[in-house]
Structure 1
Amino acid sequence: MNSQEIGKKIKELRRKKNMTQQELAEKCGFTNSLLSKIENGQTGSAIATLSKIAAALGVSLAWLLQEDQSEPLVIMKKEERQTVAAGEEKGYLYEPLANHSANSKIEPVIVSVLPENKNLQPYTHSEDEFILVLSGEINLNFDGKDQYLKAGDSAYFKGTTPHVFLPVNSQEAKVLSVFVAHLE
Structure 2
Amino acid sequence: MLDKAELGKRIKKVRESKHLTLKNIEAAAGISATHISEIERGKTSPTLGALMKISKALGKDPAHFIEEVELNDVSLVTLEDRIVEKLGSAGTMENLTTSIPGGKLQARFIRLSPGKTLDEHPHTHYGNEAALVLSGKILFTVDGEKYETSQGDAVYYNGLEEHSYENISKKDDATMLWVSTERGVS
TM-score tier by shorter-chain length is 0.5 to 0.7
Counterpart position of 2:163: 163
Mapped to 2, the partners of 1:69 and 1:82 lie a distance apart of 22
Q: Tell me the CA shift for residue 93 of structure 1.
A: 2.1
Task: Give the TM-score normalised by structure 1.
Answer: 0.55
One-letter code of the match for 2:181? V
Mapped to 1, the partners of 2:139 and 2:116 lie a distance apart of 12
The change in CA–CA distance for 1:158 and 1:90 in structure 2 (over 3 A counts) is farther
Q: Is the CA contact (8 Å cut-off) linking 1:132 and 1:153 kept in structure 2?
A: yes
Aligned pairs (5 A) from 1:38-77: 70-77=71-78
Per-residue displacement from partner, 1:28-70 (whole Å, max 9, x unpaired)? xxxxxxxxxxxxxxxxxxxxxxxxxxxxxxxxxxxxxxxx871
Is 1:152 the counterpart of 2:149? The answer is no
Q: Is the CA contact (8 Å cut-off) linking 1:91 and 1:120 kept in structure 2?
A: no
Aligned pairs (5 A) from 1:1-184: 70-86=71-87, 90-101=89-100, 103-118=102-117, 120-169=120-169, 170-181=171-182
Q: Tell me the CA shift for residue 103 of structure 1.
A: 3.2
Mapped to 2, the partners of 1:77 and 1:69 lie a distance apart of 21
With 95-104 and 161-170 compared, the bigger mean Cα shift is at: 95-104
Q: Tell me the CA shift for residue 155 of structure 1.
A: 1.0
One-letter code of the match for 2:137? E
The change in CA–CA distance for 1:72 and 1:101 in structure 2 (over 3 A counts) is closer
The change in CA–CA distance for 1:93 and 1:147 in structure 2 (over 3 A counts) is same
RMSD of aligned alpha carbons: 2.3
Q: Tell me the CA shift for residue 116 of structure 1.
A: 4.1
Per-residue displacement from partner, 1:92-151 (whole Å, max 9, x unpaired)? 422100122373111111121221425822111212001100111100111122210001
- Runs of 5+ unmatched residues, structure 1: 1-67
Mapped to 2, the partners of 1:164 and 1:138 lie a distance apart of 10
Mapped to 1, the partners of 2:100 and 2:85 lie a distance apart of 19
* SS of corresponding position for 1:79: coil
Mapped to 2, the partners of 1:143 and 1:92 lie a distance apart of 24
One-letter code of the match for 2:179? V
The change in CA–CA distance for 1:127 and 1:85 in structure 2 (over 3 A counts) is farther
* SS of corresponding position for 1:78: coil
Regions of 4+ moved over 6 Å: none
Aligned residues: 113
Q: Is the CA contact (8 Å cut-off) linking 1:84 and 1:95 kept in structure 2?
A: yes
* SS of corresponding position for 1:98: coil
Counterpart position of 1:10: none
Q: Percent identity?
A: 23
